[in-house]
């Protein structure tokens, strides 16, 4: 015995032999700072057990010592802390050289947890305690109690210095996915594989075989090993059966979409058919102190023995109600453990090969008896014995009890099917009352059960349900399958589950849910408090809400609630099962992050020119050309370049759509608020789009190339939606047009500034650029510098300017030509920030910045673009209603002169009489006008000449003068040059 | 993940689609009073049962119709929109009440 309280094993490391471990390779690791040795393949639990260490964790509420029970990753107790990872399942995590493991949820040390004193007050922590005790006075929960409880409870700690790991995803497609590679799953895989199906067999353990790897199917223990060899041999002949071990199918999603996690990779698998052969979960018995380290499930003991070669104790007592407990007794007996007694809940012990073998081995059998309480060493650190009492009725026992000394108690009193995936798929959980067993029914098409999850416990029956499930799946796949396999004669489910292995004790501590430290009385009292619906009881008592999600609590809870509310088990059932099945790391879900991003055809030119790039939706755009530290100077210079010389702006991100057909103009007339039917060929006209509610959702320019053909632009962010919207409407209207999204097919460059025409002339073009031949708001197609282009004379920035649209492949060539032709005029590239300033000086709105989700045209001075006289446009009828009501607000221009005033920011609120009446949508310091200009929503009656009050980010209020939105060149003289 | 059968592209993951909401017939704007129009714009039936919905296969921008049970989320059938919208739709000019 190396440490106080940790008793139980005397297996010297040298003597161990188990399926999962390699005794040739020793592995050193540490737990709580102490060094231990295990073997390759050992889990933290098995390696520590081999070293006699059982106390692995402290419980959530009472800080009671806890150890491992299932060795199958079912319970929350063996959650441990690794250096870079909290809440690791110690019975699943294998050890590696130098691994540092720590216990969780204790104060001081795991061995001597100061918080264990909470357990003494357990009678004062009744169910619903938090709700009842801490809600008064108002607010005190958040301020006082919650921080205290958070410190006392909680699980592991996140290490913020954890290194980044590599996580990834992969997709898979199979005819049949089989979850669980025990005898049923393997049987199904062989049957399906032989028929030629593409099969994936998923197993969470490191080896396939399931119960064949550890369970005793016959008294002699010959069947399992023989069958295992046969099945594995058959599987090896089937290359179309892919096997994934160490992999967890962590959920079921619609149409058999399965997330399978293996190490750092998430496999997203689509299966035509899914066979669930996930087995069943052995259930604990309920009695006082059933949570002590050293109290294990029978199957957990067998796993420890066979998979890891660890002898789980020196002296064992078996509490059982089926032959499985006798199998465990025989296993322990053979392993050299002194089996002190088998305590059998059944009134008479049947004669069968197991009971006879146990009797022949000289094992004492106490029938019609239960363990009424487990006795603990000091500090509840380990079991030191059991008190055995004769049963007098359902859940009751006489006081003629006696003690048996032991350091291991194994419980084999029944199972619950691993129902989670089945229920997620839409199945129901019924109850087989005759056999006191949950039963999964109403499976959806394409989902099948095989093995003990389907209530088959006899080994032949298990194999048959596997073949049968495969046969049904193959039938749906249309693969040749032959005769339907025989239904099993005997499922072997009789006499497996005891209907009431629940024995309350006057002093309590008969734990139903070990995650949440709930005892028997908590469930009973929860029902008495009126929470008799399982979903309500769960939330009230927290039963089933811990990390093990009720795997060991659901059956006992349902039984107690059924009895307390006098309803059937089928009526009670279990709480809703949702994915994920077990904990999953966020990193696994995230994988490698694939963030789509879009680059314009001119992207590399911007990089070469030293642009600071910014995100705009998915696009990367040049904010300005220069270093971050020179931001303001760059923007100012770029603004002045356009006002005084000539500049180039990459506007390739604009949405571009071709509308062709004899109804093209009619279509635009319906989609947009302005008139297009009589728009002359060669004219470019503003586009304003509203939705059915009349809200502005996009704008752009329509150029009429011919009678039946328009080339239109949309906002950068709106392109996809506008295009999709157009298709949706015309799916209904059935106008004779086609609509093509050519956004990515064209590069677009805006050349603007007083010298822009001279630059184009120098480049050479067959388009007459004179102001008379090509005035503002016109579109031309022609050759520019030898490249076919559309030229649009638009003036978003308020200077003489052209948008040049060329095939994307010609974008760089056009950019280069323009830069060269403009060099003598001092041409330079201009970024988005300067463009935003320039358009603001002109009072041109940006949809989505100066408008919001309720802005309609009258609110932002766009009435001129709305034509009510045509029969229809989307939003017209709603705008007609709007026009009958007074405006609630108005977008106005404002200016602030003088250097001392604070600079407003976008979203600063506009206040009037201490009420918020609007907000700033755009604001900038204009280098040309030498003042702050901006746009803001204000009260509807606001007019130029008024002042508005803007509350700045620092809380102070500044006055701004309301002026016309057209701050710069209001007569548009400059752009008409 | 659910699979949806697109009439144009066949069975695809539901993540490739967006829902356009329940199909509602637009009342003739020129002949509809304000309340009826507001009801059309803002109110949804949201019934528990089988509804006809707009769906769009995003990569191909293809709009089609689907009948779906909102209780079970079962997609009963999908079909091209021209099975419902067979004729060109024209709009009437405004009447005196709605100039």
Quick one: pLDDT at residue A14?
56
Token pair 């779906």 is found at B68
From A692's Cα to the closest Cα of chain B, the distance in A is 7
Q: Which residues of chain A are within 8 Å of residue B14 when distances are taken between CB atoms?
A: 254
Q: Do A734 and B87 touch (CB under 8 A)?
A: yes
Q: Which residues lie across from B11 on neighbouring strands?
A: B5
Q: Which residues of chain A are within 8 Å of residue B2 when distances are taken between CB atoms?
A: 253-255, 257
SS3 B39: helix
Span A903-913, average pLDDT: 95
Rounded distance between C-alpha atoms, residue A275 and residue A432, angstroms: 22
Residue A111 tokens, joined: 């061995």
Quick one: pLDDT at residue A3?
38
Q: Which residues of chain A are within 8 Å of residue B85 when distances are taken between CB atoms?
A: 731-734
Q: Do A877 and B81 touch (CB under 8 A)?
A: no
Sequence-ordered list of residues with C-beta below 8 angstroms from that of A608, at least 6 positions apart, any chain? none
Question: Which of A497 and A118 is assigned the larger pLDDT?
Answer: A497
Sequence-ordered list of residues with C-beta below 8 angstroms from that of A527, at least 6 positions apart, any chain? A537, A560, A561, A564, A565
Q: At residue A135, does pLDDT exceed 70?
A: no
Q: Do B1 and A257 touch (CB under 8 A)?
A: yes
Q: Do B56 and A881 touch (CB under 8 A)?
A: no
Rounded distance between C-alpha atoms, residue A779 and residue A658, angstroms: 14
In A, minimum Cα distance to B98 occurs at A880
Average pLDDT, chain A: 92
Interchain contact A949–B (C-beta under 8 A): no
Q: What single DSSP character describes residue A577?
A: P
Are the CB atoms for A939 and A945 separated by under 8 Å?
no
SS3 A651: coil
DSSP string, A357-375: HHHHTT--EEETEEEEEEE
Quick one: pLDDT at residue A942?
95
Candidates B61, B66, B99: best to mutate against A (most CBs of A within 10 A) is: B61
Residue A343 tokens, joined: 């305590």
Q: Which residues of chain B are within 8 Å of residue A873 when distances are taken between CB atoms?
A: none
Rounded distance between C-alpha atoms, residue A464 and residue A458, angstroms: 10
In A, minimum Cα distance to B90 occurs at A733
Rounded distance between C-alpha atoms, residue A200 and residue A530, angstroms: 47
From B96's Cα to the closest Cα of chain A, the distance in A is 12
Each residue of A837-888: pLDDT tens digit?
Answer: 999 999 999 999 999 999 999 999 999 999 999 999 999 999 999 999 999 9
Q: At residue A138, does pLDDT exceed 70?
A: no
Quick one: pLDDT at residue A104?
80
Span A530-543, average pLDDT: 88
Q: Which residues of chain B are within 8 Å of residue A723 when distances are taken between CB atoms?
A: 61
Q: Do A881 and B3 touch (CB under 8 A)?
A: no
Q: At residue A660, does pLDDT exceed 60?
A: yes
In B, minimum Cα distance to A253 occurs at B1
Interchain contact A254–B (C-beta under 8 A): yes
Rg of chain B over Cα atoms, rounded to whole angstroms, equals 16
Each residue of A351-402: pLDDT tens digit?
Answer: 999 999 999 999 999 999 999 999 999 989 999 999 999 999 999 999 999 9
Quick one: pLDDT at residue A672?
98
Whether a cis peptide bond, with omega within 30° of 0, leads into A580 is yes
Q: What percent of chain A has pLDDT over 70?
A: 93
Out of B85, B88, B98, whose CB is closest to A731? B85
Each residue of A153-191: pLDDT tens digit?
Answer: 557 788 889 888 899 999 999 999 999 999 999 999 999
Candidates A169, A251, A721, A872: best to mutate against B (most CBs of B within 10 A) is: A872
Rounded distance between C-alpha atoms, residue A381 and residue A329, angstroms: 24
Q: At residue A59, does pLDDT exceed 60?
A: yes
Q: Which residues of chain B are within 8 Å of residue A693 when distances are taken between CB atoms?
A: 41-42
Each residue of A462-493: pLDDT tens digit?
Answer: 999 999 999 999 999 999 778 888 888 899 99
In B, minimum Cα distance to A873 occurs at B91
Q: What single DSSP character describes residue A144?
A: I
β pairing state of A199-202 and A241-244:
parallel
Quick one: pLDDT at residue A125?
62
Q: What percent of chain A has pLDDT over 90?
A: 80
Out of A255, A693, A741, whose CB is closest to B2? A255
Residue B25 tokens, joined: 């017939």
DSSP string, A503-549: ---TT--BEEETTTTEEHHHHHHHHHTT--SHHHHHHHH-TT-STTT
Neighbouring C-beta atoms of residue A149, cutoff 10 Å: 14
What's the predicted TM-score (pTM) here?
0.87
Rounded distance between C-alpha atoms, residue A353 and residue A323, angstroms: 9
Interchain contact A735–B (C-beta under 8 A): yes
Q: Do A255 and B1 touch (CB under 8 A)?
A: yes
Q: Strands across the sheet with A99-102, in order?
A: A34-40, A22-31, A99-102, A79-82, A88-89
Q: Which residues of chain B are within 8 Å of residue A877 when distances are taken between CB atoms?
A: 29, 32, 37, 98
Quick one: pLDDT at residue A108?
65
Span A444-449, average pLDDT: 97
Are the CB atoms for A714 and A725 separated by under 8 Å?
no
Q: Which residues of chain A are within 8 Å of residue B88 when distances are taken between CB atoms?
A: 733-736
Quick one: pLDDT at residue A10?
45
The ipTM (two decimal places) reads 0.96
Span A659-674, average pLDDT: 97
Q: Where are the beta strands (DSSP E) in A661-752?
A: 684-690, 696-706, 709-714, 738-741, 746-752
Q: Which residues of chain B are within 8 Å of residue A878 when distances are taken between CB atoms?
A: 37-38, 41
CA angle A677, A681, A686 (to 5 degrees): 65
Quick one: pLDDT at residue A5?
41
Quick one: pLDDT at residue A4?
38
Span A678-688, average pLDDT: 97
Q: At residue A128, does pLDDT exceed 80?
A: no
Chain B interface with A: residues with Cβ < 8 Å: 1-3, 14, 20, 29-30, 32, 34, 37-38, 41-42, 54, 56, 58, 61-63, 73, 81-82, 85-89, 91-94, 98-99
Interchain contact A877–B (C-beta under 8 A): yes
Each residue of B40-99: pLDDT tens digit?
Answer: 999 988 999 999 999 999 999 999 999 999 999 999 999 999 999 999 999 988 765 444
Interchain contact A173–B (C-beta under 8 A): no
Alpha carbon A210 to chain centroid, angstroms: 29
Q: Do B92 and A871 touch (CB under 8 A)?
A: yes
Kindly report which listed range (A153-157, A742-746, A813-817, A950-954) carries the lowest average pLDDT score. A153-157
C-alpha to C-alpha distances, A601 to A598, A654, A743, A789, nearest whole angstrom: 10, 12, 11, 15
Residue A400 tokens, joined: 């003629």
pLDDT tier, A57 (very low <50, low <70, confident <90, very high otherwise):
confident
Widest CA span of chain B, in angstroms? 53
Q: At residue A6, does pLDDT exceed 50?
A: no
Candidates A731, A882, A884: best to mutate against B (most CBs of B within 10 A) is: A731
Rounded distance between C-alpha atoms, residue A88 and residue A69, angstroms: 16
Q: Do B89 and A734 touch (CB under 8 A)?
A: yes
The CA-based dihedral angle spanning residues A940, A943, A948, A953, taken in that order and rounded to the nearest 10 degrees: 70
Each residue of A549-605: pLDDT tens digit?
Answer: 888 999 999 999 999 999 999 888 888 888 999 888 889 999 887 888 999 999 999
In degrees rounded to 5, what are phi and psi of residue A855?
Answer: -70, 125
Q: Which residues of chain B are within 8 Å of residue A871 when distances are taken between CB atoms?
A: 30, 91-94
Does residue A510 come out as left (phi exceeding 0), alpha (psi in the -120 to 50 range) or beta?
beta
pLDDT tier, A973 (very low <50, low <70, confident <90, very high otherwise):
confident
Span A19-40, average pLDDT: 95
Q: Which residues of chain B are within 8 Å of residue A253 when distances are taken between CB atoms?
A: 1-2
Span A896-921, average pLDDT: 90
Quick one: pLDDT at residue A713?
97
From B14's Cα to the closest Cα of chain A, the distance in A is 10
Out of B82, B88, B91, whose CB is closest to A871? B91
């Amino acid at each position: 015995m190396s440490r106080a309280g940790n008793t139980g094993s005397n297996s010297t490391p040298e003597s161990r032999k188990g399926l999962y471990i390699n005794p040739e390779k020793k592995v050193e690791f540490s737990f709580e700072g102490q060094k231990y040795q295990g073997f390759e393949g050992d889990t933290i639990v098995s390696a520590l057990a081999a070293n006699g260490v059982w106390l692995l964790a402290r419980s959530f509420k009472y800080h009671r010592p806890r150890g491992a029970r299932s060795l199958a990753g079912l319970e929350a107790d063996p959650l441990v802390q690794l250096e870079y990872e909290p809440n690791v399942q110690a019975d699943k995590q294998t050890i590696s050289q130098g691994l540092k493991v720590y216990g969780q949820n204790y104060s001081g040390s795991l061995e001597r947890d100061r918080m264990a004193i909470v357990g003494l007050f357990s009678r004062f922590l009744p169910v619903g305690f938090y709700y009842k005790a801490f809600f008064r006075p108002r607010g005190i929960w958040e301020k006082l109690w919650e921080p205290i409880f958070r410190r006392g409870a909680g699980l592991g700690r996140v290490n913020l210095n954890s290194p980044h790991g590599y996580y990834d995803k992969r997709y898979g497609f199979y005819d049949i996915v089989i979850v669980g590679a025990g005898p049923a799953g393997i049987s199904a895989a062989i049957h399906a594989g032989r028929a030629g199906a593409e099969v994936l067999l998923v197993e969470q353990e490191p080896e396939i075989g399931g119960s064949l790897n550890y369970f005793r199917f016959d008294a002699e223990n010959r069947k399992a090993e023989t069958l295992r060899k046969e099945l594995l041999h058959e599987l090896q002949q089937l290359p179309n059966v892919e096997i994934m071990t160490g992999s967890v199918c962590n959920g079921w999603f619609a149409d058999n979409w399965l997330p399978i996690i293996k190490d750092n990779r998430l496999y997203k698998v689509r299966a035509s058919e899914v066979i669930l052969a996930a087995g069943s979960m052995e259930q604990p018995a309920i009695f006082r102190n059933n949570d002590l380290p050293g109290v294990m499930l029978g199957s957990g003991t067998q796993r420890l023995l066979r998979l890891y070669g660890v002898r789980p104790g020196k002296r064992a007592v078996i509490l059982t109600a089926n032959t499985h407990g006798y199998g465990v007794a025989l296993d322990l007996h053979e392993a050299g453990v002194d089996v002190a007694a088998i305590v059998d809940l059944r009134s008479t012990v049947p004669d069968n090969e197991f009971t006879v073998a146990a009797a022949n081995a000289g094992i004492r059998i106490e029938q019609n008896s239960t363990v009424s309480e487990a006795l603990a060493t000091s500090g509840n650190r380990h079991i030191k014995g059991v008190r055995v009492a004769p049963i007098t009725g359902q859940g009751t026992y006489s006081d003629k009890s006696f003690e048996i000394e032991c350091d291991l108690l194994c419980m084999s009193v029944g199972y619950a099917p691993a129902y989670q995936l089945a229920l997620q798929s839409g199945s129901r959980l019924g109850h087989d009352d005759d056999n006191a067993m949950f039963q999964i029914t109403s499976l959806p098409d394409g989902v099948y059960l095989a093995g003990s999850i389907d209530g088959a416990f006899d080994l032949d029956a298990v194999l048959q349900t596997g073949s049968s499930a495969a046969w049904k799946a193959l039938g749906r796949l249309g693969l040749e399958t032959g005769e339907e396999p025989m239904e099993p004669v005997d499922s072997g489910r009789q006499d497996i589950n005891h209907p009431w292995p629940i024995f309350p004790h006057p002093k309590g501590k008969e734990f139903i849910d070990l995650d949440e430290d709930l005892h028997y009385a908590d469930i009973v009292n929860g029902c008495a408090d009126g929470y008799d619906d399982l979903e309500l009881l769960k939330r009230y008592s927290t039963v089933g809400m811990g990390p093990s999600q009720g795997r060991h609590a659901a059956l006992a809870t349902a039984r107690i609630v059924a009895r307390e509310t006098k309803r059937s088990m089928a009526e009670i059932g279990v709480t809703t099962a949702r994915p994920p099945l077990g904990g999953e790391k966020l990193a696994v879900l995230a994988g490698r992050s694939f963030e789509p991003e879009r680059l314009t055809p001119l992207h590399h030119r911007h990089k070469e020119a030293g642009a600071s790039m910014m995100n705009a939706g998915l696009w990367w755009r040049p904010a300005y050309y220069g270093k971050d530290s020179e931001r303001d100077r760059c923007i100012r210079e770029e603004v002045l370049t356009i006002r005084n010389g000539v500049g180039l702006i990459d506007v390739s991100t604009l949405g571009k759509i071709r509308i062709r057909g004899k109804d093209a103009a009619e279509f635009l007339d319906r989609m947009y608020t302005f008139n297009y039917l009589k728009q002359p060929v060669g004219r470019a006209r503003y586009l304003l789009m509203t939705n059915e509610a009349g809200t502005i959702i996009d704008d752009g320019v329509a150029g009429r190339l011919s009678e039946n053909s328009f080339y239109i632009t949309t906002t950068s962010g709106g392109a996809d939606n506008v295009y999709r919207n157009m298709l949706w409407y015309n799916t209904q209207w059935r106008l004779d047009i086609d609509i093509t999204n050519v956004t990515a097919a064209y590069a677009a460059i805006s050349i603007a500034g007083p010298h822009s025409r001279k630059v184009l002339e120098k480049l050479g073009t067959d388009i007459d650029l004179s102001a008379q031949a090509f005035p503002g708001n016109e579109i031309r197609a022609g050759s520019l510098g030898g490249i076919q282009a559309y030229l649009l004379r638009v003036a978003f920035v308020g200077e003489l300017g052209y948008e040049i649209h060329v095939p994307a492949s010609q974008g760089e060539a056009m950019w280069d030509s323009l830069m060269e032709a403009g060099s003598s005029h001092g041409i330079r590239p201009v970024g988005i920030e300067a463009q935003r300033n320039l358009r603001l000086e002109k009072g041109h709105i940006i949809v989505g910045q100066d408008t919001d989700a309720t802005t309609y045209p009258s609110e932002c001075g766009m009435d001129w673009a709305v034509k009510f006289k045509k029969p229809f446009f989307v939003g017209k009828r709603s705008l007609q209603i709007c026009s009958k009501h007074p405006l609630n607000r108005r977008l106005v221009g404002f200016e602030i002169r003088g250097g001392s005033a604070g600079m407003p920011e976008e979203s600063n609120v506009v206040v009037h009489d201490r009420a918020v009446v609007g907000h700033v949508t755009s604001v900038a310091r204009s280098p040309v006008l030498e003042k702050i200009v901006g746009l803001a929503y204000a009260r509807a009656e606001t007019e130029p000449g008024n002042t508005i009050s803007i509350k700045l980010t620092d809380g102070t209020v500044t006055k701004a003068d309301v002026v016309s939105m057209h701050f710069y060149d209001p007569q548009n003289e400059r752009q008409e040059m | 993940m659910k699979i949806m059968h697109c009439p144009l592209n066949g069975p695809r993951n539901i993540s490739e689609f967006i829902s356009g909401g329940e199909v509602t017939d637009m009342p003739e704007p020129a002949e509809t009073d304000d309340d009826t129009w507001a009801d059309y714009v803002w109110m949804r039936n949201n019934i528990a049962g089988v509804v006809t919905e707009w769906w769009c296969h995003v990569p191909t921008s293809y709009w089609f119709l689907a009948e779906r049970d909102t209780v079970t989320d079962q997609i009963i059938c999908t079909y091209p929109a021209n099975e419902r919208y067979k004729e060109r739709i024209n709009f009437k000019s405004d009447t005196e009440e709605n100039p």
